[in-house]
Structure 1
Amino acid sequence: MNARNPHYRIDPFDLRLFTAVADTGTITAGARAVHLSLAAASARLQALEQAVGAALMQRAKTGITLTDAGRTLLRHAGRLQREMEALHAGMAAHAHGVRSTVRLLCNTAAISEHLPPLLGPFLAAHPDIDVELRELDSQDVLFAMRQERADLGIVADHVATEGLNTTPFREDGLVAVLPAAWSRRLGVRKAGLAFAQLLAQPFVGLPSEAGLSRFLQARALQHGRGLHHRVQVQGFDALLQLVADGVGVAIVPALTARRLGRPGVFVAPLAEPWARRQLLLCFGNSEDITPGAAALLTALRPTTWPR
């Protein structure tokens, strides 16, 4: 990489492009996300690397990998974009009345089971606060929190949360659901099914990008194999129906299995320690938290809402 160009000033749009490339993993997808052609995006990224005087990413046919310099820039880019968004929101507030947006990232169980009954009363009580809700797996939630690209996060306690403040949110166990006729074949015992026992069976799952799907694939790879999905569907209701129809097995939050239980579905505990987990509510430095995020944090604490 050539020496830094002292006459070039980093364009905020280039930071948006760089962040999009880092998030999507490829220059093509990143360019599409910010509505640029591939050629224009590549030229802007090269100029950005020239500006900082260091390679920001390693390029390959399968995608990009950030260098140490790229990870440093991504951390600062997230903070700068957040400040710019706050600036725009603050200016708009003068014209349209004071509002705030709280960015909340969470895993599949939180977004599907625990948050819906909590967010409604909160939003009704705070008409000046909007909540931007996004589902990610727990590792990605933590990464975004450390990059200051979210205000609050909800993660499972199997991940390392160093550098963030945490408070317990909800208990969140995972269970296996399988066609009732398969329970004897799989030899279900009171102690529960081992995850490895299920790996030889066809699965029904959520889309590949869902946090729970990514978590389960990672666990399967630890056993040296992936999950064979017969079909992947958008929601737990359709998933449980397919299990009842004998299509395959699935792993879902215990609360989901109780809420959507139906004839023909057998629910079995999982023997793995990772299936008995706690959800944690994560946030950054208390002195930096916005009033809107502080209000939502207070509303989500378990002392405020019964389990």
Structure 2
Amino acid sequence: MRLGLADLHLFLSIVDAGSITQGAVRANLALASASERLRRIEEDAGVPLLERLPRGVVTTEAGEALAHHARLMMRQHDLLKGELQDFATGARGTLHFYANTAALTEFLPSRLAPWLAQRPNLHIELKERTSADIVRTVVAGLAEAGVVSDAVQAAGLVLEPVAKDYLVLIMAAAHPLAAHSKLSLPDVLHEPFVGLMPGNALQDHIDEHARAAGHALAHRIRMKTFEGLCQMVAHGVGLGIVPQGVAGRYKRRHGFVARPLSDIWAKRSLCLCYQEWDALSKPMKSLLQHLGAKAEA
């Protein structure tokens, strides 16, 4: 059988109306067109599907079977349309989103949670990378968008600032450097440090700047979390560099002190990063607008 959805819709319209004339009206077809299509449906089935009566039609046993399966198929079609619409509007599917460490730990959780909670069928795969890696990935077309530091070179891309992301130097309260109101990375290059694990995007970023300043950081220990790093620093194990928001969150609990870094690269803003607004998918546009993008306006 070669029945299409339009054929099934017409057949169900006739069955539900109990009349070919009224069924044609429900299917928005002229009576002659509906009658001809019904004739072809029955020819294709090879068996009578309707019994013509003086005051309408009723299904034969074969017609009842067709009506049953037609209803199932139409329901499945409606479900499919709904799911495809969800994908198109960003209510379903998987978004791949790239972010640096500060964005993942400080910026995204509180802002992303309400947006994602309203879309129970949507999934987001977050990938942590350095800002430079994210820019290269977006430029290559391997990702739609990400959150990066404005300190990165991003020729040809749009960068929209959405949050401050200053880095600060933290140390034990009794450390001699605590007497300084402001320090730069070159001032402390020969001090022992507590770092984050190798491969952490923020730590890689800091290590690159240390090497550029002439000396790799001497890490006494590397921790998996910011809180673990802050605990080590508070006990005098070494210095640490963390986002200002992280320092503010753990300073009272662990008793270390924080000092601003005067280096230009440490005074950062977090920016949404993408190529062209019109080239973004609808789900990504919705996410970026929620995070603060003004591009469409």
TM range (shorter): 0.5 to 0.7
What secondary structure, in the 3-state scheme, does the structure 2 residue paired with 1:148 have?
coil
Q: Could you tell me which residue of structure 1 aligns to residue 291 of structure 2?
A: 300
What secondary structure, in the 3-state scheme, does the structure 1 residue paired with 2:289 have?
helix
Q: Could you tell me which residue of structure 2 aligns to residue 210 of structure 1?
A: 200
Q: In structure 2, what is the Cα distance between the partners aligned to 1:290 and 1:302? A: 14
8 Å Cα contact 1:206-1:235 kept in structure 2 = yes
Q: How does 1:1-307 map to 2 (within 5 A)?
A: 98=87, 99-182=92-175, 185-186=176-177, 188-190=179-181, 192-261=182-251, 262-301=253-292
Q: CA deviation at 1:187?
A: 6.3
Q: In structure 1, what is the Cα distance between the partners aligned to 2:234 and 2:293? A: 34
Which amino acid counterpart does residue 145 of structure 1 have in structure 2?
V
Per-residue CA distance 1:28-74 (angstroms, 9 max, x = gap): xxxxxxxxxxxxxxxxxxxxxxxxxxxxxxxxxxxxxxxxxxxxxxx
Q: In structure 1, what is the Cα distance between the partners aligned to 2:278 and 2:293? A: 22
Which amino acid counterpart does residue 229 of structure 1 have in structure 2?
H
Q: In structure 1, what is the Cα distance between the partners aligned to 2:101 and 2:231? A: 19
Q: In structure 2, what is the Cα distance between the partners aligned to 1:189 and 1:249? A: 14
Per-residue CA distance 1:201-246 (angstroms, 9 max, x = gap): 1111111111111111111111221011111111101111111111
Q: In structure 2, what is the Cα distance between the partners aligned to 1:252 and 1:276? A: 12
Per-residue CA distance 1:58-101 (angstroms, 9 max, x = gap): xxxxxxxxxxxxxxxxxxxxxxxxxxxxxxxxx9x969x74222
What secondary structure, in the 3-state scheme, does the structure 1 residue paired with 2:191 have?
coil
Q: CA deviation at 1:263?
A: 4.0
Corresponding residue pairs, total: 209
Report runs of 4+ in structure 1 exceeding 4 Å deviation.
none
8 Å Cα contact 1:233-1:239 kept in structure 2 = yes
> Greater helix percent: which structure?
2
Normalised by the size of structure 1, how large is the TM-score? Answer: 0.64
**Which stretches in structure 1 are left out of the alignment for 5+ residues?**
1-90
Q: Could you tell me which residue of structure 2 aligns to residue 33 of structure 1?
A: none
Which amino acid counterpart does residue 245 of structure 1 have in structure 2?
H
8 Å Cα contact 1:245-1:264 kept in structure 2 = no
What secondary structure, in the 3-state scheme, does the structure 2 residue paired with 1:260 have?
helix
Per-residue CA distance 1:96-142 (angstroms, 9 max, x = gap): x7422221111111001111111110111122321110111110010
8 Å Cα contact 1:105-1:141 kept in structure 2 = yes
Q: Whose Rg is larger? A: 2
Q: In structure 2, what is the Cα distance between the partners aligned to 1:247 and 1:176? A: 14
**Which stretches in structure 2 are left out of the alignment for 5+ residues?**
1-79
Normalised by the size of structure 2, how large is the TM-score? Answer: 0.66
